[in-house]
């Protein structure tokens, strides 16, 4: 990523525990719908909104799974920026670190319609509004209340009902997750014995 290119880059942050086809579809649909230069998938180091609610797989393992899920997919990449920053992961802090290295880049934060409804609870929200535009992904025809006070765009994506919660539950019940997440992710889940203890 050059510092003087003025690229337009989407950021899809998340726990990615595990990454799945839903994440890849969202990233690719936004990439192409908005003609972005690339979309970065950014695994959280410590997902502050989930810590204490459930067990979180170690960040390095989630990063490895995400890298292997993306592979060499054109226009998609994985960033370890939040692991390098350490501590709880806040989008505003991540954007500061990225913008320092790539000052001319225009950033787009990709969120689902459910997350868009809670944007005002995010860390350092007033600063965040000035750092990036929001891209809201939603199913065609679904209800959507636009986030007020934000610069935002809507991208409609195919309805794909795959979630990390659902995948963890299926693994814990010894049910197949084939075709729900890329094969390298399944191989990691099996070799590391992830999600066996229940969702």
Q: What is the DSSP letter of 53?
A: T
Per the domain annotation, does 1 fall within a domain? Answer: no
Per the domain annotation, does 2 fall within a domain? Answer: no
Q: What is the pLDDT of residues 119-168, one digit of tens each?
A: 888 888 889 989 999 999 998 777 777 778 888 999 999 888 899 999 99
- Compute the mean pLDDT over every residue in the chain, rounded to the nearest whole number: 90
Count other C-beta atoms under 10 Å from residue 6's C-beta.
12
Lowest mean per-residue pLDDT among 8-17, 39-48, 117-126, 151-160:
117-126
pLDDT at 14: 93
Over range 18-45, report the average pLDDT: 97
pTM score of the predicted model: 0.90
Lowest mean per-residue pLDDT among 29-33, 104-108, 119-123, 163-167:
119-123
Per the domain annotation, does 47 fall within a domain? Answer: yes
Per the domain annotation, does 99 fall within a domain? Answer: yes
Per the domain annotation, does 131 fall within a domain? Answer: yes
Q: Which residue has the tokens 């997902």?
A: 47
Provide CB contacts within 8 A for 65, sequence distance 6+: 16, 18, 19, 184, 185, 188, 189
Phi then psi for residue 74, to 5 deg, are -60, 130
Write the CATH number for 89.
3.40.50.620
Element housing 198 (H / E): none
Per the domain annotation, does 75 fall within a domain? Answer: yes
- Residue 170 tokens, joined: 């299926």
Total count of domains within the chain: 1
Q: Structural domain of residue 41, as residue ranges?
A: 8-192
Over range 27-54, report the average pLDDT: 89
Phi then psi for residue 97, to 5 deg, are -65, -40
Per the domain annotation, does 3 fall within a domain? Answer: no
Per the domain annotation, does 197 fall within a domain? Answer: no
């Amino acid at each position: 990523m050059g510092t003087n290119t003025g690229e337009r880059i989407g950021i899809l942050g998340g726990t990615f525990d595990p990454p799945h086809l839903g994440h890849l579809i969202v990233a690719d649909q936004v990439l192409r719908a908005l003609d972005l230069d690339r979309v970065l998938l950014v695994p959280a180091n410590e997902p502050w909104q989930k810590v204490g609610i459930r067990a979180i797989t170690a960040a390095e393992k989630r990063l490895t799974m995400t890298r292997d899920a993306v592979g060499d997919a054109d226009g998609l990449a994985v960033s370890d920026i939040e692991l390098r920053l350490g501590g709880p992961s806040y989008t505003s802090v991540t954007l500061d670190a990225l913008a320092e290295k790539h000052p001319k880049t225009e950033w787009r934060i990709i969120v689902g319609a459910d997350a868009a409804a809670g944007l005002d609870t995010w860390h350092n929200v007033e600063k965040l509004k000035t750092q990036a535009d929001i891209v809201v992904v939603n199913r065609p025809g679904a209800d959507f209340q636009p986030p007020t006070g934000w610069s935002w765009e809507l991208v409609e994506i195919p309805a794909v009902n795959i979630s990390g919660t659902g995948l963890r539950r299926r693994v814990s019940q010894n049910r197949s997750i084939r075709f729900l997440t890329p094969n390298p992710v399944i191989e990691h889940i099996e070799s590391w014995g992830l999600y066996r203890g229940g969702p």
